[in-house]
Amino acid sequence: MSISRRRFLKWAGAANLALIPGKSAIAASNRHFEGYPQGGGVLFDSTLCIGCRKCEKGCNEVNDFPAPVKPFDDLSVLDERRRTGNTAFTVVNRYKTSDGSDTTAYRKIQCNHCLEPACAAVCFVKAFNKTPTGAVEYDASVCVGCRYCMMACPFDVPTFEYNEAFNPRVQKCTLCQPRLEEGLLPGCVEICPTDALIFGERKKLLKIARNRIENHPDQYIDHIYGEHEMGGTSWLYLSGVPFKELGMKEDLGIKPALEFTSGALSAVPIVIGLWPVLLLGMYGVSKRLDKEALEEQDEAIKVSLENAAEEAAKKLETALNKADKAKKREIETAVKKALAEAESPQEGNEES
């Protein structure tokens, strides 16, 4: 039991993490899903982050990525506006803030491991799964590379190996799922020197976050980012400045992505059930109209056959005038044909 205080803090409320089952992932489905009760998550406290990029380094190491061009202790990159990449599942950016006391603040970016992930909802091969540990897992063995997940992710997280000619993958933070299964902390959390990152059960993290806000209302914005955004995320954020100033979207709403499309999808059976009935009805009506037109035509033929005299021609003309223009031609040809047949009845086999 040689857990240091720091270590203990990082494992916020971790007593029952051992209960986290391994791989029994469930797929996204159309029903409402509240998230796994004991699912884990990470709380990032921006007021504690010093922008040291250690988490980037930790992530790089646990994922066996190649060393970056600029080493992790080069803090000049903080001035760039960076995003996640194929070999950088997390990046830290520095933001200028409007708040008087402190002129800069930091934010760590990585997959937020949404409770009801947009990426999972839109993938047409179910490559993404929300697992009971809290991690949103990606399975490259079924991915087709359509990149709809990237379109849908409200946080612009997943990246794509555009330069792979044959087997490009989508890439994103794994929440260190393999390490969690071994009972280890995520690489970034473990290495963080200031407890700006703590790992634990999401429910407990929310309590901790609430306590911090309550105890230091002057230091924190009264909002836990990720508690409800897009249906809630496993990665939670505290900040001393408005989240917008940390480049975070404030217009996301609390509905998970799935709910935006489920309406359209539930219309499918309605269309399949209703359309044939309507169409057949319409077809029936037009058939009837056709029949009437046909009768009109027959009438005209009969008249012209009965009397070859002028009188008949006159009648025919009135009948033709009655019919609209398009039908006129039809009738005329039909009459001609019928007359021709009448003249040579033995030839009357007119298979078309």
Partner 1 sequence: MVDETKALRKKSLLTPVNIISGIILVAGLYATIIRFTQGLGAVTALSDYNPWGIWIWFKLVAITLAGAGYTTCAAVYVFGMKRYHSAVRPAVLIGLLGYTLFAVSLVYDLGRPYRLPYPFFVSQGTTSVLFEIGLCVAFYLIVLYLEFSPAGLEWLGFRKIRNIAVKATMALTMFGIILSTLHQSSLGALYLSAPSKLHPLWYSGYLPIYFFITSIYGGLAMVIFVFWLSERYLPDNIGHAYQEEKTGVVLGFAKAISMVLVGYFFIRIFGISTANSWHHLFSSWGVLFLIEMLVGILLPAILFAIGAREKNITLIRWTAVLTILGIIYNKFFISTYAFNWQLSPVDRYFPSGLEVILTLFMITVGVVAFRVITSLMPVFFEHKDYPSSH
Q: Cα–Cα distance between 266 and 269 in angstroms, integer?
A: 7
Place of tokens 């949103």: 136
What does 83 interact with, of partner 1, ligand SF4, none (CB < 5 to 8 A by kind)? Answer: partner 1
Q: At its nearest, how many Å lie between partner 1 and the CB of residue 219?
A: 28
Q: Cα–Cα distance between 40 and 281 in angstroms, integer?
A: 56
Q: Which of 91, 111, 221, 241 binds ligand SF4 (CB under 6 A)?
A: 111
Per CB under 8 A, does 283 bind partner 1? yes
Per CB under 6 A, does 188 bind ligand SF4? yes
Q: At its nearest, how many Å lie between partner 1 and the CB of residue 257?
A: 5
What does 258 interact with, of ligand SF4, partner 1, none (CB < 5 to 8 A by kind)? Answer: partner 1
Query: Roughly how many angstroms between the first and final C-alpha of the chain, as a whole number?
Result: 94
What does 297 interact with, of partner 1, ligand SF4, none (CB < 5 to 8 A by kind)? Answer: none
Per CB under 6 A, does 180 bind ligand SF4? no
Q: Cα–Cα distance between 191 and 188 in angstroms, integer?
A: 5
Q: At its nearest, how many Å lie between ligand SF4 and the CB of residue 190?
A: 8
Structure tokens at 283: 């077809």
Which residues have CB under 8 Å from 154's CB, separation 6+? Answer: 118, 229, 230, 249, 252, 257
Site residues for ligand SF4, 147-176, by CB under 6 A, read 147-149, 153, 155, 157-158, 170, 172-176
Q: At its nearest, how many Å lie between ligand SF4 and the CB of residue 175?
A: 5
Per CB under 8 A, does 336 bind partner 1? no
Residue 94's alpha-carbon distances to 59, 83, 91, 97, 191, in angstroms, are 19, 12, 10, 9, 19
Per CB under 6 A, does 143 bind ligand SF4? yes
Per CB under 6 A, does 248 bind ligand SF4? no
Site residues for partner 1, 165-194, by CB under 8 A, read 165-168
Q: At its nearest, how many Å lie between partner 1 and the CB of residue 284?
A: 10
Q: HEC profile for 70-113? A: CCCCCHHHHHCCCCCECCECCEEEEEECCCCCCCEEEEEECCCC
Nearer to partner 1 by Cβ, of 156 and 311: the residue is: 156
Instruction: Give 3-state DSSP helix, strand, coil % of the chain, rounded to 5.
Output: 40, 10, 45
Residue 92's alpha-carbon distances to 162, 188, 330, in angstroms, are 23, 11, 76
Per CB under 8 A, does 160 bind partner 1? yes
